[in-house]
Every structure is written in structure tokens, then in C-alpha cells.
Structure 1
């Protein structure tokens, strides 16, 4: 397995674009209606490394890869999209080392909304995550104080260890498979 990161593969993919295509990429990135939104000022003088840094800072590496792939597809850069997706999902990027990645996106990221909507018994999940040291006692207490499962799950997804760590996402996936196997199986079948 390569020690290159997803950010490296994004930079590499952007460097393979002509100056004209890179400019198109920046425009399309700014015109996205989905989150995360990018301002023209942020990309105006950005080179390939700056763009990759910006995308990774705005979201996780796997989401940055997916945003890049989606933008390539919208521009008709299908070869670039396919190459980046294969590098990311084949284990050539650091978060691609997860067995729960598909098309450059972690299962947890891909099904975030469905998981927030469908998981109602959050406390047992928190217990397991605390025991595995994925969340801290403070995180555990803060989330338990929230009054709805929606709020609890949303807050859980915002924890740094879940939001930006592949290991945290992998652990959450495994805990959800233990505590909510029917929901998880249904989502896996949809993938």
C-alpha cells in the first residue's frame, strides 16, 4: 500500500489539467450549490496545492476527493474522474485504506443523512465509542444531554475523531453494525 494521501492524489489530478481546464475547474467549484461552498476569492490565485488544501480544510479528505471527482464529471473530465476515483478507492490514498470506502467515499459519509434520520438508540452507540476511546468522556456527556436522537447523531458526526479520521469512521461503522445491523445492511444493499 502506498503512503500517499488522498490530498496528494487530488493535487496530482489537478496538476494533470491544462491551465484552461484548471480555470474551468475553479469556476465549476465556485458554482456548486452543494456544501461545502467555495468563494471565488478563495480560488482566484490558488494553484493545485492550494485548491487541494482548501478542499481538505473545508471537509474531510474523502469528501474532498468526492467533490473533485463530481466536479470533474460535471466538466466532462471523465478520464480524470475515473483515474482519481480508482486511486482513492484502490488503497493508494491514506483513507482509502478503509475497507468501508466505495468510489472514494467512506460509507459513514455517504449515508450520513440516512443514519441521522434512522438511528434512534444513540446512547448504546455512545457507550461503545467511549469504551473504544473514539470519543472522550466530555463528548459523551455533551451528546447525552441533547434531547433528540437527531441532535445526538448530528453532534456525533461532528466529533473530530469521526468527522476527520478514517479510523474513527471505521470504528463508528463497526459499532453501528453491532447495534443497528438491520439499518446498516439495508444501507449496504443500496450502495
Structure 2
């Protein structure tokens, strides 16, 4: 059965590597030019953990590219070929898929119109509570990066913050000032990543 996500396909690909080869893969990953993951995040970690770190660092499609490049550089061409085949249906865009994507938000969930109190956007209305109560910031930042609300440099800067509250404040003081569109994208990401918090705030 074909995997339902790129993340699952990457994890399955790691299952095809013996421990020694997985360790070689991690060393190869640490030697990459450009954005790299800290050694402590991947060395000696489980296959599922390494997959999660890659997706969180590069996004799903970015992680797929990194894994394929690393596998090929190590000579694991068959593993790379199998991963390409396993993700072909997840990375190709058909006309129908493109039409559907236009009706979907950047978070991958169906987009919806944010609630507004008069002319005030939901994101502005609940600013303080969102800053204090959001916890799944990694998923939100990944969505904003993928949607182009933030660039890689800003993404790295925000993630370097020590608390989730500071990360949210950075979003409010920077990218969210761009206009309603960026707030709409954040709104849809929050619906996906902070379902219970959003349900609670909508009651207020």
C-alpha cells in the first residue's frame, strides 16, 4: 500500500537501512552545506525521530529532497529510487488537484473565512490569548513558511527564540503586519494545529 504522506514514506525508507547505514546517513546529513540540523537531534535517535526532525527543519517536500540527495550521495541508489516511487503520487500535481488546492488554505486544510468582530480580525481580537496559549508552534511555522508568509531567514530567527510566547510575538510584530492574507493563513493553520484552543476562543 502506498504511504499516505511524505513523512511516512521517508520513515519507511529509513526502515530499509540497517543501523550502520542509518548512522552513515546521519553523518552525511551533518556535512550538508546550507541549513543543517544539530548533531544531537539525529545521532543515535530512532528512525521516527530523525524523520520528524527533518520534516520540522525542512518541511515535508524539503525533507524529501534532502533525503534523496543524501541517499544518492551515499550510493544508496535503490533506496532513493524506491522512495521516489513511493512519493510519486504525493508530489505530482494533476489539473484536478490544482483546482482543489485553490480552495484549500496553506495549512492543508480547507480554508475558511475567519471570524471578525466588526472590522477586527480574529487573529487581532485574540492576540493576547494566542500569544499565551499556542503550544504547537512548530507546525504553525512550517505552514507559514510553506505559504510564503515568512522566509527561511525569518523562520530560523523565530525558531531560535527560547519560548513559544516570544515566537508568537515575533509573528505579530513582523509577518502579520503584511495584511489580512497573512492573518487568514495563520487562522487556518491554527485551526489545524490548535483545534481545541480555537474552539475555545470562538466561544468568546
Higher Rg = 2
